[in-house]
Structure 1
Amino acid sequence: MAGDLTDQEWDRLAVLLPSMLPQRGGRWRDHRQVINGILWRTENGAKWHQVPDRYGPWKTCYHRFSQWEQDGTWARIERRLQVDADATGELDWRAQVDSTIVRAHQNAAGARKRG
């Protein structure tokens, strides 16, 4: 499907994910399918229950996302991908900070009204 992980992207991620061996409670749903569902939700700004059925039950996507956030899987993936991108020169460490200030009307800021 459009927007899903390519085979090359999947190959980079697969080695960083928890084992697919049966866990307490049974087999895991395919990691690639679930990650594609998580990415779909993130890219579309949708709510979890709006994840299309082709990615499996939305609750599975949500629970896997949450579990991997808690156990550090996402942080480990981010670190590894950053290291790989930096090593190949794909990561630009130069940053720009914009200090733009947007002023609100005094009434919008809760100021006292006259009269």
Structure 2
Amino acid sequence: MTEADWAVALEVFRVSLPRRGDKGRDDRLFLEALHYFSVNNITWRGLPERYGHWNSVWKRFSRLSKAGVFEIYFEHLASLSTSADLVQMFDSTVVRAHFGSRSKRGQYGQALGRSRGGFSTKIHLKTDFDGHPIAFDLTGGEKGDAPHFPILLGLGPDVDPRAAMGDKGYDSKANRQAARRRGAVPVIPYRSTAISKPTFFPKALYKGRARIEQAVGKLKRFKRVALRCEKTKQNFASIVAIAAGFILIKSVHTA
């Protein structure tokens, strides 16, 4: 993160803050603390002293998380995309939950479930054609990709793409129709068991899907994302939004 990066982060963060309530003493230090926390996956008590008292950082994070500030912060950055109106790409990744208690008590509504990877959460991600995150949603790890496609299609910047791209996991008649209703061409390969396949498939365009896979890799470099330690869906969504926002910063101020 360069000084130019931090300048963009601060500008967008301050616009995202609610008008009422405590504004905080040092926004730059607070964002640096969140960056350190999400990258290194430490406990709040493990924050270095240079970021201030850990409890003060945690309380402010919790308050802003409940207010949805970090999702707004991410949405502001995502709205600056220059290719979301051309192609939007879809993918998902499963992250295993690593917090202490794994009993069923309190799991309802927290985007947690049992999958092959164990007790986990699935991050449904949408990027523009440049591979920049523009929307995400959270479900239990056992949820399929295809049923979530129409939901994810409606999230993010308020623009309809010319093409909606996903892998075979999104192959369904309903998903292709959902894309076409928005004026988008579904660039989704057919499964091998499909009865009737079109003779033409835009293979050259589909090669660009590697960018969303790279975006997933960037997102999981933030250890707090790759190893879900937040017990609530809201707090984990805030961490994902923070990480995705930091990924976007580079593309924002250089565009």
For the aligned pair, the TM-score class normalised by the smaller chain equals 0.5 to 0.7
Unaligned residue ranges in structure 1 (runs of 5+)? 105-115
User: Counterpart in 2 of 1:87?
Assistant: 82
Superposed, 1:30-109 pairs within 5 Å as 30-84=26-80, 86-87=81-82, 93-97=88-92, 102=116
For the aligned residues, what is the CA RMSD? 3.1
User: Counterpart in 2 of 1:7?
Assistant: 3
Higher relative CO (CA 8 A, sep ≥ 6), structure 1 or 2?
2
Q: TM-score, normalized by length of structure 1?
A: 0.62
Unaligned residue ranges in structure 2 (runs of 5+)? 94-114, 119-255
How many pairs does the alignment contain? 90
CA displacement at 1:102 relative to structure 2: 4.5
The one-letter amino acid of 2:88's match is W
Which structure: larger Rg? 1
CA displacement at 1:55 relative to structure 2: 0.9
User: Counterpart in 2 of 1:107?
Assistant: none
CA distance in 1, matches of 2:32, 2:117: 40
The one-letter amino acid of 1:61's match is V
The one-letter amino acid of 2:32's match is N
CA distance in 1, matches of 2:31, 2:64: 11
Q: TM-score, normalized by length of structure 2?
A: 0.30
Query: Percent sequence identity over matched residues?
Result: 19
Query: Which whole-Å deviations, capped at 9, do the CAs of 1:26-79 have from their partners, x for residues lacking one?
Result: x83311101111111111111000000111111121112111111221111010
Higher strand fraction (1 or 2): 2
